[in-house]
């Protein structure tokens, strides 16, 4: 088999993208670092881009995905809500299942 099959999935809410691979990895980085700026840095992404991605996610999700605080001892921070965590887990498991499914599908063909 010379050919490989690839895929990208995403979740939409009212026609707008809610979650894709990039946003999920950003949410995961937020969960690990407790900060949007640190998360962005860890992914080599500008803070601005990270912020606009998170803004889109938060404005379209049914429930808050993150909580933010400004000021304070550490300057502030961003944390993933438990709802956000469940979104991340659902996305990643479906994504992995999709890959397996597609590999099976293409192995059925005679390409």
Partner DNA sequence: AAGCGTTATATTTGTAAAGGTATAACGATT
Partner DNA sequence: AATCGTTATACCTTTACAAATATAACGCTT
Question: Could you list the residues that contact DNA (CB under 7 A)?
Answer: 35-38, 45-49, 51, 54-55, 68-78
CB of 86 to DNA, least distance (A): 21
E strand or H helix that includes residue 94? helix 82-108
In sign, the C-alpha dihedral spanning 56, 59, 64, 66 is: positive
- Cβ proximity to DNA, 8 vs 48, nearer residue: 48
Q: Which of 30, 39, 87, 88 binds a copy of itself (CB under 8 A)?
A: 87
- Name the binder of 13 from DNA, a copy of itself, none, CB < 5-8 A by kind: a copy of itself
From CA 77, how far away is CA 16, in angstroms rounded? 27
Helical axes 21-33 vs 82-108, angle rounded to 10°: 140
CB of 14 to DNA, least distance (A): 18
Q: Which of 21, 32, 55, 105 binds a copy of itself (CB under 8 A)?
A: 105
- Taking phi over 0 as left and psi of -120 to 50 as alpha, with beta for the rest, 15 belongs to left
């Amino acid at each position: 088999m010379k050919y490989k099959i690839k895929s990208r999935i995403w979740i939409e809410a009212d026609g707008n993208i809610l979650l894709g691979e990039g946003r999920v990895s950003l949410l995961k980085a937020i969960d690990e670092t407790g900060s949007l700026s640190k998360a962005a840095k860890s992914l080599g992404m500008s803070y601005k881009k990270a912020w606009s991605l998170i803004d889109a996610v938060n404005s379209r999700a049914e429930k808050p995905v993150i909580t933010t605080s400004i000021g304070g001892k550490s300057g502030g921070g961003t944390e993933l809500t438990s709802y956000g965590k469940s979104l991340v887990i659902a996305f990643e498991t479906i994504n992995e299942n999709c890959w397996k499914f597609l590999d099976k599908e293409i192995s059925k063909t005679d390409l």
